[in-house]
Structure 1
Amino acid sequence: MGRNLQSGDRLRPVDLARRHGLSTQAVRNYEEAGILPAAGRTPHGYRTYTPLHAAALSAFLALVPGHGHRRATSIMQAVNQGASEEAFRLIDESHAQLLDDRRTLQAVERALEDLGPTAASEPGAGSGSAAVTRPGGVFIGPLADKLGIRSATLRTWERAGLVHPRRDPLTGYRVYDEADARDARLVHQLRRGGYLLEQIAPLIAQVRAAGGLEPLEAALCDWHGRLTARGRTMLTGAAELDAYLRRRG
């Protein structure tokens, strides 16, 4: 550790593990991964840790809920290598992702605003140029382009029962009416929000049956709650990391 340790400074692996509710093997793994600074050694070769290691471990465990295990690991590795700017960049990326997720949630809510029961039946809704649409609908390629996804993704969603395009009688191509286009847009936004297809399917079915967004209110409330919780855990992680940085000097 680069300094003489007083006996009161020394922590055995088991001491560090118990303090944080971990196994001693986990502590050793974290050290080997660079999450903790290198341990000191006794004359007999046993690892010894210090309050600095405890602070590092506290920082890492506090960072994980908000940043994820992989990014929290990268942050601690950067700090322990003296690359604080890289650590701060990684933290900024997490905050940028959280902001993007908040914007995605807002986009989902906006996408739901026009899910009234009569919108899908409006004559000519969703029609565009004759080259890519049929009356009341749009072909798969242009819809995929508009959403920024692949046509194969739309076909996957169709197999999952999330969209129900009809077939054009002249070409046999899939045609998505306005209701299908809105469902596809909603699926796309929910996927960006971290929802799995099997979680989205009942939501789409409920929206179709109810003709509105009420069935999604609980999901949206949960989404808001998860984003808020993530923001709070990022604050906790930042406080623990700051304490560790101060201890490192």
Structure 2
Amino acid sequence: MNEPESATGPVLRTIDVARASGYSVQQVRDLERFGVIPPAVRSANGYRSYGPIHVAALRGYRALAGAAGPVSARSTMAAFRTEGVAERVATIDAAHATLARERAETLRAGQAIMAISGEPEALEREPDRDAMTITELAGALGVRTSTLRFWEQEGLVRPDRVTSHRTRRYEVPAIRAARIVVALRNAGTGIPTVRELLGALESFESFEDADEATRILRRRLDRIATRSLALLDAGADLAALINAIPEPR
């Protein structure tokens, strides 16, 4: 039995759209409610009728959610209904650009890690220098004391404190962590990536640590590649959706 046709293609039931898109029936209804897909046509008896554009929208949403996160993807798909074609295309271009920036950042982080692994740890080997004040460490690293405080808030560099005066003093492990953070931040690495690397490099004392960091960065690059490929695969669906939604008046 042939499916009924509309001006834009076959008329699909909720279950048809769910099967074609890989979502459940309830998810299809929820995503329609969130504005991710255009509203379904309601018949006199209240049944929803969908078309191929709804399937394309759901597939495009899945790719955007994988590339930029579900919250961002939902807001993007909802905004498509009030934006013109140029703005919709620019949004997809921006998603690709974000992935490219993440890839470049990860590659720079790898270069920074390799550079650190071959550096002499002069800050940690000075005679009679078991700890540094925040002012001393900031001066040695070429950063502001406020920067060190910010890194402390972000959980990147944790100093020891002299409780009576709450004076920050940094011992060798904290100094080592600070050196890593400086190198990564100078390479353009974002705070989340720095935090991830520091978690794997609690003891940055040997080249094996650099190897572990390299493996972490390789896994990150693989994840970025997977997200990029998903976005590329959804290109036709997103293009169909962008062209199908009427221009706002």
What is the TM-score when the length of structure 1 is the normalising length? 0.71
Question: What corresponds to 1:128 in structure 2?
Answer: none
- Residue type of the alignment partner of 1:20: S
Question: What corresponds to 1:143 in structure 2?
Answer: 143
Unaligned runs of 5+ in 2: 127-133
Question: What corresponds to 2:78 in structure 1?
Answer: 77
Query: 2-side partners of 1:166 and 1:193: how far apart?
Result: 24
Q: 1:46 to 1:213 in 2, by over 3 A?
A: same
- 1:25 Cα deviation after fit: 1.8
Question: What corresponds to 1:228 in structure 2?
Answer: 225
Pick from 171, 190, 193 the counterpart of residue 192 of structure 1: 190
Equivalent residues in 2 for 1:51-130, closer than 5 Å: 51-116=52-117, 119-121=120-122
CA RMSD of superposed structures (Å): 4.0
Question: What corresponds to 1:240 in structure 2?
Answer: 237
- How many residues align structurally? 229
- Residue type of the alignment partner of 1:138: A
Whether the aligned pair in 2 keeps the contact of 1:17 and 1:23 (CA below 8 Å) is: yes
Tell me the alpha carbon deviations over residues 94-140 of structure 1, each in whole angstroms, 9 at most, x when there is no partner.
2332232223213312322332466113777xxxxxxx854xx4369
Match of 1:205, SS? coil
- Residue type of the alignment partner of 2:214: E
Query: 1-side partners of 2:182 and 2:203: how far apart?
Result: 16
Pick from 146, 152, 155 the counterpart of residue 154 of structure 1: 152
- 1:59 Cα deviation after fit: 2.1
Tell me the alpha carbon deviations over residues 44-85 of structure 1, each in whole angstroms, 9 at most, x when there is no partner.
121111222222222222332123222322332233345333
Query: 2-side partners of 1:184 and 1:82: how far apart?
Result: 41
Unaligned runs of 5+ in 1: 125-131
Query: 1-side partners of 2:59 and 2:154: how far apart?
Result: 43
Question: What corresponds to 2:34 in structure 1?
Answer: 33
The percent identity for this pair of structures is 23
